[in-house]
A and B are shown apart, each in its own frame.
Chain A
Amino acid sequence: EAQVTQNPRYLITVTGKKLTVTCSQNMNHEYMSWYRQDPGLGLRQIYYSMNVEVTDKGDVPEGYKVSRKEKRNFPLILESPSPNQTSLYFCASSYAPGHNEQYFGPGTRLTVT
């Protein structure tokens, strides 16, 4: 089944404790992206990747890192999480950069206390 998977689905952590949210797609997509979703603010792009070893900042990259060592994986790293990073996070992929149809993962609910 074609899908984007994220882990963990739910995470409660404390300020400053490094964490990684994994994202994997099995569709051989070139383009991958991370979004955060907050009430009243909609979906905002954090980072994106147009292919292996090619990543770039989105609209809200501060406090986040990403890597794209393999085509299928695009982990999101929070080196020192803070409470303002409490949010619902989505990973997405598409066949190519600029493709309108992005496939989204199920989301990761992160709470930073």
Chain B
Amino acid sequence: GENVGLHLPTLSVQEGDNSIINCAYSNSASDYFIWYKQESGKGPQFIIDIRSNMDKRQGQRVTVLLNKTVKHLSLQIAATQPGDSAVYFCAENCIGSNYKLTFGKGTLLTVNP
């Protein structure tokens, strides 16, 4: 949405390159980790999720990696396109926590043509 990108970590890539967006999480009891994409002026949109007992999951042009040892989550986007420019949020879902998704602060990805 408007001005959501302020104060955020930013990543700038060239069109066609691969992008890696990182996220550190805090709750080792989370059951799922999720990535959302928010384009300017729109609401967040679900991209992909990964269960806590997995370390990798692939989708269409995206791969999520989970490293529970260091509490780190990453989203890899292959062959980044201008339409990938957005703010990307990681989120945690702890089923025992009243089904609440806890969102990270986000990373602004800019794709240069």
Q: Chain B residues near A101 (CB, 8 Å)? A: 34, 46, 49
Contact A106–B42 (Cβ < 8 Å):
yes
* CA–CA, A100 and B49, complex, Å: 7
Secondary structure of the A contact surface, majority rule:
strand
Which of the segments A36-44, A61-69, A76-84 contacts the partner chain? A36-44
Asked if B95 is at the interface of the complex by the 8 Å CB criterion, the answer is yes
Complex alpha-carbon distance, A101 and B91, angstroms:
11
Chain A interface size range: 20 to 34
Task: Name the CB-closest residue of A to B33.
Answer: A100
16 chain-A/chain-B pairs, Cβ below 8 angstroms: A35-B103, A42-B104, A42-B106, A43-B89, A59-B100, A98-B93, A98-B95, A98-B99, A100-B49, A100-B101, A104-B43, A104-B45, A106-B42, A106-B43, A107-B41, A109-B1
- Name B residues whose Cβ lies closer than 8 Å to a Cβ of A: 1-4, 6-8, 32, 34, 41-46, 49, 89, 93, 95, 98-101, 103-106
